[in-house]
Amino acid sequence: MEGGLGIKSLACVMSAFKMKLAWNVSSNNGSSWASFVQAKYVTDHVSIDGVCSSNHASPIWKRVCSMLPLVAPKSRWLIGKEELNFWREAWSGLRPLVAWCQQPSSLEVQVCDLIGTQGWINPSRALSLLPVDMVDHVAREGIYTFPKSEDTRIWTPSASGRFKVGSAWELLRTPGVIYRWYRWVWHPHIPPKISLFCWKIIHKAVPMDARIQEKGVAIVSKCVCYPASHQPSVEALDHLFSEGTAARQVWGYFQPFFRLTDTSQRSAMGRANAWSAPSSSHDRLLPLRVLLPPFIFWEIWLKRNKAKFNGTVFSSSLVI
């Protein structure tokens, strides 16, 4: 679900950092650790994208190998002056050509031997080595060489081409449903403590008497919004924040300013969602109307606490 407290899945975060290790190894970024593990595990001139983990490898290397199939499709090479192997490296934006083309007579062919600054140097030779759709793919994707630059692997989910753990996390996580209340609960102009309180209202985590009784705790309850002369009622969330007499007076006071219809029969959530919904395509008051429900909830809660624990009188005028 989108719109929660923003606590990321620890497993997903760990996988994102494992992708960073795999990226450091596969991008030849010059780090000592990457050079060490390449020298130890990448043998026989095999591309890093095609490396498989052995049973005797270290746990770190096994994690790197498990993430390489996720890193390779989201990266590509900027072909420079270095000798990037034509068959073993994933320079085309796809997996290494040796993995899905017929075994060539010689694997010691460099990309710069076949591709220049304008694309294929010799298309007829390319057709003799690769299927037609692969040759067309290189032309369509605009794959060229940059002789004055070094071979550089770029991370395609990032606009800068640099690997970012945040972009890896976005790829790994499973997005949830974005609910309507997200826009008014986590509005940037609302203080975090009020946003968190509204989130508690949504999930019925506010310590109201009715909620405490649902958990099996026997307590005597009376809603503070009832005058002493009225028949007492159990304190419930929707009654205090939306359906009670005082709550209706508070909401009714602000409704005319925004030309809203009566929403007195709505739950607390239903009322707040109604206030955050645009009434027309030119609703200039919407930005202000979205901000108001969280502050109304917060003020009702503060006045409720004072009435319940300090013995003050709860009234709509104090909230307004």
Token output for 99: 């993995």
Quick: pLDDT tens for 67-108.
888 887 788 777 766 566 766 666 666 666 666 666 565 566
> pLDDT at position 95, please?
63
> pLDDT at position 107, please?
63
Share of the chain above pLDDT 70, in %: 68
> pLDDT at position 294, please?
92
Mean pLDDT of 166-181: 84
The answer to whether residues 134 and 64 touch, using CB atoms and an 8 Å cutoff, is: no
